Structures are given as structure tokens and as C-alpha cells.
Amino acid sequence: MKKIIILSLIVTSQLMAHAQTSGDPKVDALIAQLKDQNNSKGTVTFSGKGATVTDAASIIKNQNGVYDVGSSLVKSNSPSQIHLLVKKITNGKQTIIKDKNNSSIALINGTAYELAGDITFTVKGKTVNASFKGTLYEIDKKKAKAADTPSGTITATFKNITIPNM
């Protein structure tokens, strides 16, 4: 169920990108980040389950301070997407968030996966490059719960992503 909610939020975020303002400062900050994605030159290339996808990429920071590093919510043209959640954007390696409230996900050829793994950031000013290597856990469509047994591996490379102002 949590994965369905996350995917619903992604779609809702795309729709909100075209709104002017909401009157709520937190929502307005998110809308501003989504609008800034139109100027982003960031890209992501990820491979898993026999597919390789190159797409527009961005970073969004939510009101709880969690960063979503992944496929652009505004500029993505691919049905396959990746979204990695991290607590901070700093040089070096860190484990992506995977807990009861937050999960990193990938959608590959219509199948959703929960992810586990490490991302390594290289930060230069307001621009980030990163590499990710992780494990896929298929999300059962009927239960909306990730399998306990790994379904495969995934790698991703992020280039030239702008860190959002907040």
C-alpha cells in the first residue's frame, strides 16, 4: 500500500508543477522545486532486470528534509523511473533510506521494486554526480508489499543534477 501511495504522490507532484501557488509555504516550496526542474540538465542512467534507461533527473527535498534523487517528476519521458531517498546530499557514500515510512523505488517495464543499497555522491557547488548500486525487491501488485527475497540488482549513474534551494 505504501508503494501505491508513493507512486500516487509522484503523479500528484507532476500535476502540482503547473500550479501557481497554494498559500501553504511548504507546498509552495515544493512547487518551486518542481518548476526549477524545467531548467535542470541532470540525467540518470539505470540498469536492472535486463533494461537500461536514460532519463531526465532531479533532486527534490520534502518538508521532512528527505531528498528524492531520481527521475525528474516534471521532465521524465520514460515509463520506467528510479527514486532514491537519502537524508543528506554530501560527498561520499551513504545507504539509501529504507524504513517503515520511506522506501526507495524503481519502476522498470511496469513492475515496481523496493530498493536497498548505497549511493556515492560527488558534490561540486550546487551540482551533484552520483553512482548507485543496489538490490531489487519486487513489490507484489496484490499485496503492495516488497518480497523478502531479492529479485535482482540495479545500478544507476546520475550526472549534473542541481541541488534544490530550500
pLDDT digits over 97-136, tens only?
Answer: 988 888 999 999 999 999 999 999 999 998 999 999 999 9
Low-confidence residues of the chain: pLDDT under 70: 1-22, 25-40, 74-76, 165-166
Angle between helices 25-36 and 2-16 (to 10 degrees): 80
Number of structural domains, the chain? 1
How far apart, in whole angstroms, are the C-alpha atoms of residue 51 and residue 153?
11
| Count of Cβ atoms closer than 10 Å to residue 91 Cβ | 10
CA distance 114 to 95: 14
Residue 158: CB atoms within 10 A of its CB come to 25
For the CA atoms of the chain, what is the radius of gyration? 15
Q: Pairing state of beta strands 152-162 and 111-124? A: unpaired
Structural domain span for residue 34:
2-162
Residue 7: predicted pLDDT: 46
